[in-house]
Amino acid sequence: MSRLFFPLALIALLVPSALHAQFGGVEPLTVTISPEYPKPYQTVVVTPGSTLIELSSSAVTVSANGTVVSRGSGTAPTNVTVGGPGSVTTITVSVIAEGRTYNKTLSVRPADVSLVIEPVTTTHPFYQGGAGVASEGLLRIIALPDLRSSTGTRLPASSLVYTWRLGDRVLQAESGIGKSYLSATAPVRFRDTRVTLTVTSTDSAIVAQTSTVVSPIDPLVRIYRNDPLLGPLFDTALSGAITMSEDEQTFRAVPYYFPSGSALTWLVNNAESGSDKDVTLRATGSGGGIANLIARVKQATTFAAAEQRLQVKFGEERGLGIFGL
């Protein structure tokens, strides 16, 4: 029996020693950079790590393209600024521990990609602001990549590989070579969604990544004067109370940040007065008065709704007639 157990015990002692000499197949030195996919001229944070080497008592040197950036010990991070488009920054971390030297080298090729969000939503035709994302409305996200070869030549967008993610889920059907835009439905209000795009060259040597948060906003309605000569005066939205000095005045309602298919209803003194984009108030007779105007917009499928109220004061001695245009 002893002759059976002794060889087994001997093997049990020798195997761990062999594994220790080879670090058990585990990398003795690891190096991480953050961000993982830097943009041109961006500063990255280089952090060494090890589960096998006592870095706190070791000499650690970080170099970039052969130039020493920092010397010290431990896992303290080091800032390194990468080069411009098409460049390669070689980052080397050297560790001397117990008379042995360990090296880890990373080649960083900065690249960039931007995202443009184009919501399919309502605004007036001369609106110069960014269209807000409508709750459950359609939108397009367009990628503008800038990946360059070692000579500085920009790689054609149609030749790149695009991987789109919605949260943690890869959108397989929307990803692939040349798929530089994403058509999607926005989330409901109060449920933001992160969209992440990774763009790579076909040989995977150059990688760019970016992300954006899609946040639907509350829809709203604005009321404007519609001048008979100048047209809608979109530079000034009306609210609160105004005085109508003319015999009649036309008002234009504009819904903002609604998905397609929204419906407008005008109410004057709580009575429905048409569903066209314009409504006209006309003072008649004698005496003054007040008309309470409401522009109300609803979207049936998403239940989005908003309204704008306006109090219109008219004449000293006249009444009010109402008709929609």
Kindly report the CATH number assigned to the domain that includes residue 73: 2.60.40.10
Residue type for position 117: I
Residue 4 lies in a domain: no
- Tokens 């015999």 sit on residue: 247
pTM of the predicted protein model: 0.75
Residue 7 lies in a domain: no
Dihedral sign for Cα atoms in the order 117, 118, 119, 124: positive
> SS3 for 157?
helix
Closest CA to 260 of 141, 140, 123: 123
| Same domain, residue pair 101 and 138 | no
Domain boundary among 191, 214, 237: 214
Q: Find the mean pLDDT for residues 194-204.
A: 96
- 305-324 and 240-244 strand pairing: parallel
Tokens of 183: 């058509």
Domain boundary among 162, 197, 214: 214
Q: Work out the mean pLDDT of the chain and round it to a whole number.
A: 85
Q: Find the mean pLDDT for residues 74-94.
A: 95
Domain boundary among 85, 108, 131: 108
Domain with 274 in it: 220-324
**Is the confidence at residue 240, as pLDDT, over 80?**
yes
Torsion of CA 14, 20, 21, 27, to 10 degrees: 150
| Same domain, residue pair 282 and 309 | yes
Tell me, what's the pLDDT at 46? 97
Tokens of 180: 């530089």
Kindly report the CATH number assigned to the domain that includes residue 304: 2.60.40
Residue 306 lies in a domain: yes
Tell me, what's the pLDDT at 3? 33
Q: Find the mean pLDDT for residues 174-190.
A: 89
**127 vs 238, residue with greater confidence:** 238
Number of separate domains in the chain: 3
The model's confidence at residue 82, banded by pLDDT at 50, 70 and 90, is: very high
Residues 6+ away with beta carbon under 8 Å from 242: 310, 311, 312, 313
